[in-house]
Structure formats: C-alpha cells, structure tokens
Structure 1
C-alpha cells in the first residue's frame, strides 16, 4: 500500500509517504509559508522514493479542525492531485492525528486533544487507544474551556495548542482527571497517514469531490459554501 498525506491545518506544515507500513515525513514549523512549502515537501518525498503520484493507492490530508486558511490549503492540494491522478482520498481529523502522536511517542492511552480556536474557544475531542490506534470517543466539538467535559474518571493526557492559551481554565474545569499536559503538540502528516492506512483498508476512502474540510465553526462552514 502506498499513501501520501498532507497537513497544513496549523502552524506546522508536513507531508508523509506511507509504503507498506514504513513512513517517511517532511515536517516544518512554517506559519504563513504552507502554500509554497507543502508541494516542495511532496516532491522531496516522491523523488526520494522514486514514485509518481499516479503510482500511489490513495491520498490523505488533515481535514481539520484548525486554521480556516490552513485547512483549505491541504484540501485544495489533495483534491487537485486526486483529480489529476484519479485517486481516492482519505480525510483524517487533525485532533486524531495529535492523539495518535501521543500514543506513539508518550504511550498515552487516553488523550484529550485541543486546538486553539481563537475567540475564546477550543476545538477538542477525546480519544482512547485500541492497542494500536487512537479511537474517537464522543464527537469533535468547538466550545469554551469552561464547558468541556470528559467521559469517566480515568487519567487523561492533554495535548495540543488549546492547552497553551487555555491550560489554566481547562485544568480548573477538569481537575485531577488530567494527569499530564503536552501543549507543544501539533498535527503531523505521519500520524495522519497511519490513521489513513487503516481507513483505506476498511473501505473509507472517498472521491476527490467528496473530500471536504471540517471547520466545526458554523459561520466559517457557511461562508465557505457560498
């Protein structure tokens, strides 16, 4: 299986190539440089592997939530490549990407991912490990830190930029249920492509036209559809 994933939903910009379980990634913190950087990352990966877009089985991307502009960059890039090469697409949550990263790097099995949504809010979701991959519990939401809640009374790990600007409010709200916090965690194409591989096996790929961003913020979604 050969998959290519892109993510530009936050300040981090990354692309990853998955070949039969092996993953190579290009990753860079590059605010406002995603448009010129992401295609260069893709070319670097494909050239190193001696592959063309047409030789891939599918494309994946971080479908949000995150920066409106950033999410659109990856969406548009993947749609363009998918239309050109007639490839299916696998949209993957950026919140799930961060949770998977915590499982792989920190052995965290219960993660609450949070991305700063500006205007006093956060994009957030909770994930639990099945032993190999992180699985969503409940649903992704945008909310104020004071409105967040956690299922059960397990020991959770907080991950993502939502814990940078709103860490104090979140800790006050959730108390001892959050055992540790890792605020400097960003979505990565490497974990997006790992999750995408599982989705591909399970027949969850969609057409390029069906590959749409997820904003969670209703006003942004309505404006983008006009």
Structure 2
C-alpha cells in the first residue's frame, strides 16, 4: 500500500510516504512556512520513493486541533489531491499524532497531549498506553488557562507532551514532567489500518478540527 501523510498542525511542516513497508520522511526546518514548502516536500518524497500521485492509495492528514493557518494549508492540499487524482483522504486527530510521535521517540506509558489554541485555551487528550491511540472514542476537550494547573495536578502520573511554544503554558509546565516535541508525519503509520474502519470511502472534504464546539474540561 502507498500512503502519503501530511502533518501541518504545529510549527514545522512534515511529510511522510509509506511504500510497501518502507518509510520516507522529510521535515521542514523553517518555522510556520507550511504554505511555501509543502508541495516541494511532497514532490521530493514522491521522487525518493519513485511514486506518482496516481499511485497513492490514500492520504492521511493531521487535521487538528492546532495551527489555524497550518491546518488550512494541509487540509487544502489533501482536498485538491482528492478532487484531481481521486485519492481517498482520512483525517487523523493532531492530538493523536502528537502522542504517537512521543510513543515512537520516548519511553513513556501514560501521556497527555496538549496543544495551545490561543486566547488562553488548550486542546488536550489523554492516553493510557500506545494501544489507546487506536480507540475511536478517545475524548478531546478544551482547557482554560486557569484550569490547566488543576488538570495537570489531577493527572500527575501522566507525562505531558506539547508542540506549542506558549509562555503561560510553559510557566505552568516547568515544574512538571513534560516534553516539548514536534508531531511527525511518519508517526501516522499507526493509523493506516484504522482509517479504513473509521471511514471506508475516505472523505472528499476534510474540515480542520479546531475543537471550538467541544465540551470544556470540568
């Protein structure tokens, strides 16, 4: 199976291609330049993997929550490929992609994914182990700035991971067990199989998930 993965929810844009068990990966090194680099990164990886767009079986897109502009860029590219080349598209939670990256790169068990939404709000989701990434009923919720410290205290046995450079959040996290990492498109390999179960036909229109209508944590 040939799969393109797009991750534009955080500071850096990353792309991965999965081809018959091989992983080709590229990450941009310039902050917030998603719109300028994404097509070049895709072209480079398709060239390395000796694939054309027509040979792709599906596209996995990290569709939020996260960077407003980055998500629009990533989802827009995925939608255009779907419309022009008829490639199935599947949206994956950026909170899950962040956690998947942590599980691949760090030896952790329980983790909390935390992404700044701006205006004193944070998107969060918790995972008891790597297998829980594949749970379709994983809860995602919004934390207000004033609730963050309380939430972390109640989940002190969880390792916090974040991709956001937020001063208020960092001031709270500095005394906690946390890691600052960037989500990587290659970690989306975990979701290739379950994407077919969640949406067998794929989606022609991937809408960025900003969590604006989600319940707040209580």
1:223 maps to none
SS in 1 for 2:13: strand
Question: Shift of residue 58 of structure 1?
Answer: 0.3
Cα 1:144/1:76, change in 2 over 3 Å? same
Match of 1:189 in 2: 185
Superposed CA offset, 1:177-222 (max 9, x none): x6x2102x12221112x1331323535355443422101125xxxx
Give TM-score, length-normalised by structure 2: 0.84
The count of corresponding residues between Structure 1 and Structure 2 is 210
CA 75–141 in structure 1, closer or farther in 2 if over 3 Å, else same:
same
SS of the residue corresponding to residue 116 of structure 2 reads strand
Say whether the 8 Å CA contact 2:61–2:92 is kept in structure 1.
yes
Question: CA shift at 1:96, angstroms?
Answer: 0.8
Q: Which runs of 5+ in 2 are unaligned?
A: 214-218
* C-alpha contact (below 8 Å) 2:59/2:89 kept by paired residues: yes
Q: Aligned match of 1:212 in 207, 213, 216?
A: 207
How far 1:122 sits from its partner (Å)?
Answer: 1.2
| Alpha-carbon distance in structure 1 between the residues aligned to 2:165 and 2:108 | 16
SS of residue matched to 2:66: coil
Structure 2 contact 5–59 (Cα < 8 Å) conserved: yes
Mapped to 2, the partners of 1:72 and 1:153 lie a distance apart of 32
SS in 2 for 1:139: coil
Q: Does 1:169 align with 2:185?
A: no
Could you say which residue in structure 2 is the equivalent of 1:45?
Answer: 45
- 1:61/1:55 Cα in 2 relative to 1: closer, same or farther (>3 Å)? same
Q: For 1:157, which of 135, 150, 159 is the aligned residue? A: 159
Deviation of 1:143 after TM superposition, in Å, equals 1.7
The residue that corresponds to 2:79 in the other structure is: 79
Q: Which has the higher strand share?
A: 1
CA-atom RMSD, angstroms? 2.6
Q: Distance in 2 between matches of 1:200 and 1:135?
A: 11
1:2, distance to aligned residue in structure 2 (A): 1.1
What corresponds to 2:216 in structure 1?
none
Structure 1 unaligned regions, length at least 5: 173-177, 219-226
Distance 1:114 1:153 in 2: 13
Query: Quick check: 2:13–2:32 contact (8 Å CA) kept in 1?
Result: no
User: Structure 1 residue 51: deviation in Å?
Assistant: 0.6
* Distance across 2 between alignment mates of 1:162 and 1:50: 34
- In the other structure, the counterpart of 1:4 is 4
Task: Give yes or no for contact 1:4–1:60 (8 Å, CA) kept in 2.
Answer: yes
Contact 1:99 1:111 in 2 (8 A): yes
- What is residue 95 of structure 1 aligned with on the other side? 95
Distance 1:205 1:146 in 2: 40
Instruction: Look up the match of 1:224.
Output: none
